[in-house]
Structure 1
Amino acid sequence: MIGELIIFIITSTFFYYLYVYKKIHYFFERRGVKFLSGVPMFGNMYDSTFAKKHYVEDLNAVYRAFPDEKYVGLIEGCTPIVLIRDPDLIKMITIKDFDHFVNHKEFFDKDIDPLFGGSLFMMKDDKWRDMRVTLSPAFTGSKMRLMMNFMSEVGHNITDHIKEHISDEFNVEDLVRRYTLDVIASAGFGLQINSVKDKENEFFKMSTDLFVSNFNRKLAMYICSQYPLFGKKLGLKIFPEEITSFFKKTITRTMDYREKNNVVRHDMIHLLMEASKGTLKNTSIEKDDVGFATTEETLKPRSVTRKWTEDEIISQLFTFFAAGFDSTAGAITFSVHELAVNPEVQEKLYQEIKGFEEYGKTLSYENVAQLKYMDCVINETMRKWPPSIFMDRVCSKPYKLPPPREGGKPYQLNPGDIVYNMVNVIHMDEKFHPKPEVFDPDRFSDENKHKIQPFTFMPFGMGPRNCIASRFALLEMKVFLYDLILHYKIVKSQKTSYPVRLKKDDFRIKACGGTYVKFESRT
C-alpha cells in the first residue's frame, strides 16, 4: 500500500504540473479573475497542508491579496474555486439565487465515510430539502425548552467540579469538551454521563478520538477529498471503523430498547425516531429567538413525504453529535478565554447575571433572551472565533456572477463549479468590523448592532442551508456561561496565552498550546 501511495504521489505531481496546474492558471486568466499562483499539487494550501500555517491563514492570504475585488480565484489542491469577498454577492448566492447553489461540495464519499457522508450536511437537492424539512421541528423553541433542562443539569456538574478543585489551573478546552459531550450524551443519546468525575468513560474516549488531528488523518482527508476514486481503491477511512461502529451501536441499541419498551424521553433520539415515522410535527407557533445570531427556517414541505431508513436517521444524530460536541466546545472555550483576558467585560457580564438572580429569576428558555449583554459576549466571540470558516456551495445550473471589479467582465459559473462564501476572514476584516482584533461585545448592543452590515456576521451560515441547530448551540453556550460567571471569577494563569496563536496542524479553530485559566469563588 505504501509503494502504491508513493508511485501515485510522484505520478500525480508530474501530471498535475504539466496539465492540471497550468490548466487552472489558464482557467482563471481567461476569465479575468485574479489569483495567487500557489504551489503545484497543493495550490494555495501548501503551508496549511504541512502545518506551517493554519488553514484560515492560507485563505486569508488569498482574500487580502486583492482588496478591491468582489471575488478572486482560489486553488485548493487541484481544484479551482471562486472565493467570494463581497457581502452582497454572498446574499445573492446563499439566499436570493439559492436554487442555483443548493448543495455543498462532496468532501467525502458515502462509501468512505458512511455516517458523515449520509448526513444532512452532505445530502443533495430534493433529498436534502426533504430531510431538512423533516428535521426542522426537532429544533424549534418548543423542543429546545425540553432540552434546556439537560443542559442545566450538566452545567451544575461542571460548577461543582470547579468548586472541588478551586486551587487548580484548568485546561478550558478539556473542561468545556466534557460539558458539551455530557450535554450531547443526555440531550442527544439519552445517556447520563458525568465526564468530569468519570474522566475515562468510553463515550468521552471515543468522542475525543473521533476528532484527533494527525498527519495520517490529514493525508487521508486530502486524498479522499481531492482523489476520491484512489481513496476508495486504497480503502482509506477518515474516521476509524471502531469509533463509527461504537456510535452506530449505541444509537441502535437505544432506539431498539425504547421501541420495545415504549420509553419516551424528550431528547434528540426520540425526536428523530418520530421523524423516521413521519410523526414529528412543528408545535412551535411563536417566533423563537434566543439571540441575535439565531437562524431562521425558510423551507416549506413538499407534497411528497419521504420515508427514511434507520441508517439515514443515525447519520443525522451522529452529525448533530459531532457539531454539538466539538464546534460548540470551541466557541465556549474562546468565550472563557476572552473573559479571562478582558476582566472589564467579565465584570459587566457578572453584574447583569447577578442582577438577574437578585430579581428572583431562574434561567429558562423564556427569559434567556433578556440577558442582552451575554448575547453580545456570545456574538462577539463568534465574530472573532467563528467555528464556520466558509459556506461552500456547488453551482447546480448556469449562473453569471457580476464583474469582479469595475471595468471587468462577468464570470460564468457552470454546474459543478465551487464557490466559497467567506465567513472567518470577513468577520476579521477591518472594513466591516473596526479594530477586529479587539474583543468588544458592545458591537452587538441594541444601540450598535444596526451598524453591522448584513452578511458580514454569519457564525451559523446564511440562507436555507444555515445551521439547523443554532438555537441548541446558543442555549448550550449561555447555560454554561451563566452558571460559571454567577459562581466564579475567571482569572489568567501562568499558562494563559495572549494573543492567541492558532494551532497550525488542525483544520478547526483551536488555540496553540491550549487555553488555561484559574477560577476564584465569588462567595
Structure 2
Amino acid sequence: MWLLLPILLYTAIFLFVRHIYSHWRRRGFPSEKAGISWSFLHQAYRREFRHVEAICEAYQSGRERLLGIYCFFRPVLLVRSVELAQTILQQSNGHFNELKWDYIKGYRRFNLLEKLAPMFGSKRLNEMFGQVQKVGDHLVQHLMDMEQAQGGVLETDLQQILRVYSINIIGNLIYGLDINNFEQKDHIFTSYLKQSQVTIQSFTLGRLPQKSSFTYRLRDLIKQSVELREDHGLIRKDILQLLVRFRNGNELSGDKWQLEMNNDQEKFVSIKRLAKVAEDLLKISLDAVASTITLTLFEILQEPLIVEKLQAEIKELSIENGELKFEQLEGLKYMDMCLKETVRKYPPLPIIERVCRKSYSLPNSKYTIDEGKTLMIPLLAIHRDEKYFSEPLKYKPIRFLHSSKMEDNLDQFPEKSKNHAFIGFGMGGAQCVGQNFAKLVIKVALIKLLHNFHLELDANLAEAMEVTHQPAPFIHTKDGLKVRLKRREINPKHYH
C-alpha cells in the first residue's frame, strides 16, 4: 500500500507535465518537439532563467511566423514575423495590454500610459529642458574634477557614471528633487543604483510584483513632494508636477503648470498609486537611458570617423551664453542615426512579453491564443536578423540614412514605414510613451561628453566585452566601460 502511493504520485506528476508540454500540439500550432527528456528540460530551464539568449535561439530555429515554445512550465507563443507582431499589438483592442498600467475609476477602466502620454510632448519637454541641461553640467563638472585630481588624464568606468547621470535625471524630473548624486553619496538613489544591479533574470519571477524597503522610502519622497505642491503651491516644471496635475484632474496638454484644485473633488489617483507610477518610470527609464548612452559610446569610440562626424555636427550648433536650445536637438540627424543603430543592435527592451487577457483569434490565420497564455516578440533577434538588416552585428548608422528621410515624409512612404523592421522603443500597444524624453536625455549626455572631452576606449574592452540583459543590455566586464578622458580645448565662442 505504501509503495503504491509514491507510484501514483509520480504518475500524476508525469501526466501533468506531459499535458503542459503538449499544449501547442493539442491546439494545432507550429511548435517545437517537446518531451520529458534531459536536453529539452535543460532548454526550457534556460528560457526561464536566461530567457533573452534562449528566446533568440528559438527565433533562429525555424521559419514559421508563429512558434509554440515552453519556458519551463509556461507555454509561450513566439511571434517571428514583424508584420504579424505589428498587427497584433496595434489592432488587438486591449487583448494584450499590460495590467500594471490599468486603472479603474468608478465604473471605467483607464490605461494610465495613454492618459500620461501628453507629459512627453515637445512643448512640455522644451520647458523641462533647462533642468536636463543642469544635470548634464553636473556630469561634466564631476568628470573634470576627477580628471584634475588624477593629473589631467582620467581613466574610469563610464558605464557606472552614466547610471548616476541617469538616476540624477530621474530624481530631478520624476521625483521633483534638486539632487546631485555625484556629490550626495549617501542619498537613497545611490543605494537604489547599487541594489538594482543585482537582479535575477527570470521569465516568471521578473513578472511578479516586487516590494522592498526602497518602495516605501520612494513613496515617502513622493508624498512629501506632492504635499509641497498641493498644500503650499510649489510649482516646478518637471514630470512630477504633471503627475500632480493629473492627480487633481487637470489637463496634461497645454502650457499650464500650476494646479487648478477643487477641494471638493476626489483625487483621481492616490499618493500610493502615484508613487507606483513614479517607481515604474524610474525602473524603465534608468535602464533604457543608461544602457543606450553607454553602448552608443562603446560602439562609436571604436570608429574615430563616427566620432569626428558627431563632433562636427555638435560644433555646428549655434550656442548662446553657453546654453543649448531645445530646438537644436532636432537638427542632430547623424546623432539620431547613431541612436537608432544602438537601439537596433542593443534594444533596451530585448523582448516584448504580453499575457493574453481574453481569447484572441490571430489575424489572417486559423489560430486562437487562449486567455492567460503569453505572447513573446523577440526584438533583439528581429533586429539582428540578416533578413531585415545586412551585417546585423556591425555598427552602421548609415543604414538609417534613408529611413530618416522616410520619417520626415511618412505620407509618401506608407507601406515602407509600416513594414520597416526597426522597432526601437517598442511598437503599437507596447510603444514607450516616454521615448522622446529618453532621446532628449541621451542626446544631452552625448553632446556634453563629446564636446568637452577626448574619449579613448580601453583597447582590451572590445575583445573581452560581454553584454548581458537584466533585462536591459549591460556591459558585463570587470571595469564596465573603461574609458580614458582628457579635456578638449574649446573655442570660447562655442559651448563649453
- Aligned pairs for 1:242-253 (under 5 A) are 242-253=213-224
- Indicate the structure (1 or 2) with the bigger Cα radius of gyration: 2
Instruction: Give, in whole Å, the separation in 2 of the partners of 1:370 and 1:33.
Output: 47
What does residue 170 of structure 1 align with?
A: 156
1:89 aligns with 2:55: no
Shift of 1:208: 3.0
Give the direction of change, closer, same or farther, for the CA distance of 1:35–1:153 in structure 2 (3 Å limit). same
1:510 aligns with 2:481: no
Give the direction of change, closer, same or farther, for the CA distance of 1:100–1:244 in structure 2 (3 Å limit). closer
SS of structure 1 residue aligned to 2:446: helix
Give the direction of change, closer, same or farther, for the CA distance of 1:263–1:370 in structure 2 (3 Å limit). same
What does residue 170 of structure 2 align with?
A: 184
Instruction: Give, in whole Å, the separation in 2 of the partners of 1:447 and 1:461.
Output: 17
What does residue 209 of structure 1 align with?
A: 195
What does residue 315 of structure 2 align with?
A: 354
What does residue 484 of structure 1 align with?
A: 449
- Aligned pairs for 1:125-140 (under 5 A) are 129-140=110-121
The residue type paired with residue 129 of structure 1 is F
1:71 aligns with 2:66: yes
Residues 187-214 of structure 1 deviation map (CA, whole Å, 9 limit, x = unaligned): 111212222233343321134314422x
SS of structure 1 residue aligned to 2:198: coil
What does residue 18 of structure 2 align with?
A: 22
Instruction: Give, in whole Å, the separation in 1 of the partners of 2:357 and 2:324.
Output: 45
Q: Is the 8 A contact 1:90 1:455 kept in 2?
A: no
Q: Is the 8 A contact 2:78 2:375 kept in 1?
A: yes
1:161 aligns with 2:174: no
What does residue 92 of structure 2 align with?
A: 98
- Aligned pairs for 1:289-438 (under 5 A) are 307-357=268-318, 363-401=324-362, 410-438=366-394
Instruction: Give, in whole Å, the separation in 2 of the partners of 1:359 and 1:147.
Output: 18
Q: TM-score scaled to structure 1, two decimals?
A: 0.78
Shift of 1:262: 1.1
What does residue 234 of structure 2 align with?
A: 263
1:62 aligns with 2:18: no
Instruction: Give, in whole Å, the separation in 1 of the partners of 2:13 and 2:87.
Output: 35
Instruction: Give, in whole Å, the separation in 1 of the partners of 2:30 and 2:319.
Output: 59
Moved more, 13-22 or 336-345: 13-22
Residues 436-459 of structure 1 deviation map (CA, whole Å, 9 limit, x = unaligned): 111111111147765777352122
Shift of 1:476: 0.6
Q: How many residue pairs end up in the alignment?
A: 454
The residue type paired with residue 310 of structure 1 is I
Percent identical among aligned pairs is 23
SS of structure 1 residue aligned to 2:431: coil
Q: Is the 8 A contact 1:16 1:78 kept in 2?
A: no
What does residue 34 of structure 1 align with?
A: 31
Shift of 1:277: 0.9
Residues 214-251 of structure 1 deviation map (CA, whole Å, 9 limit, x = unaligned): xxx568x84585xx7xxxxxxxx7342x2111101111
CA-atom RMSD, angstroms?
Answer: 3.3
The residue type paired with residue 79 of structure 1 is R
Instruction: Give, in whole Å, the separation in 2 of the partners of 1:477 and 1:375.
Output: 10
The residue type paired with residue 521 of structure 1 is R
Q: Is the 8 A contact 1:442 1:448 kept in 2?
A: no
Give the direction of change, closer, same or farther, for the CA distance of 1:361–1:445 in structure 2 (3 Å limit). farther
Q: Is the 8 A contact 2:246 2:268 kept in 1?
A: no
1:238 aligns with 2:210: yes
1:519 aligns with 2:485: yes
Instruction: Give, in whole Å, the separation in 2 of the partners of 1:15 and 1:316.
Output: 46
Give the direction of change, closer, same or farther, for the CA distance of 1:124–1:440 in structure 2 (3 Å limit). farther
Residues 449-483 of structure 1 deviation map (CA, whole Å, 9 limit, x = unaligned): 65777352122211244212111101010111011
Shift of 1:358: 7.5
Give the direction of change, closer, same or farther, for the CA distance of 1:29–1:140 in structure 2 (3 Å limit). same
Q: Is the 8 A contact 1:138 1:280 kept in 2?
A: no
Give the direction of change, closer, same or farther, for the CA distance of 1:389–1:327 in structure 2 (3 Å limit). same
Residues 417-441 of structure 1 deviation map (CA, whole Å, 9 limit, x = unaligned): 3211221110111110110111111
Q: Is the 8 A contact 2:352 2:377 kept in 1?
A: yes
The residue type paired with residue 457 of structure 1 is F
Instruction: Give, in whole Å, the separation in 2 of the partners of 1:389 and 1:224.
Output: 14
Q: Is the 8 A contact 1:55 1:507 kept in 2?
A: no
The residue type paired with residue 512 of structure 1 is H
Instruction: Give, in whole Å, the separation in 2 of the partners of 1:382 and 1:73.
Output: 27
Q: Is the 8 A contact 2:31 2:69 kept in 1?
A: no
- Aligned pairs for 1:431-450 (under 5 A) are 431-446=387-402, 450=406
Moved more, 442-451 or 342-351: 442-451
Shift of 1:153: 0.5
Shift of 1:415: 2.5
What does residue 262 of structure 2 align with?
A: none
The residue type paired with residue 436 of structure 1 is P
Give the direction of change, closer, same or farther, for the CA distance of 1:519–1:15 in structure 2 (3 Å limit). farther
Instruction: Give, in whole Å, the separation in 1 of the partners of 2:443 and 2:334.
Output: 11
Instruction: Give, in whole Å, the separation in 1 of the partners of 2:146 and 2:133.
Output: 20
The residue type paired with residue 261 of structure 1 is H
Instruction: Give, in whole Å, the separation in 2 of the partners of 1:521 and 1:410.
Output: 62
Instruction: Give, in whole Å, the separation in 2 of the partners of 1:49 and 1:80.
Output: 11
The residue type paired with residue 387 of structure 2 is K
SS of structure 2 residue aligned to 1:388: coil
What does residue 436 of structure 2 align with?
A: 471
Residues 59-83 of structure 1 deviation map (CA, whole Å, 9 limit, x = unaligned): 11110000x2101112112111110
Moved more, 319-328 or 446-455: 446-455
Shift of 1:18: 1.2
Q: Is the 8 A contact 1:158 1:179 kept in 2?
A: yes
Q: TM-score scaled to structure 2, two decimals?
A: 0.82
Instruction: Give, in whole Å, the separation in 2 of the partners of 1:176 and 1:127.
Output: 41
The residue type paired with residue 171 of structure 1 is D
Instruction: Give, in whole Å, the separation in 1 of the partners of 2:232 and 2:319.
Output: 44
Instruction: Give, in whole Å, the separation in 2 of the partners of 1:444 and 1:361.
Output: 31
Give the direction of change, closer, same or farther, for the CA distance of 1:82–1:93 in structure 2 (3 Å limit). same
What does residue 47 of structure 1 align with?
A: 46
Q: Is the 8 A contact 2:47 2:55 kept in 1?
A: no
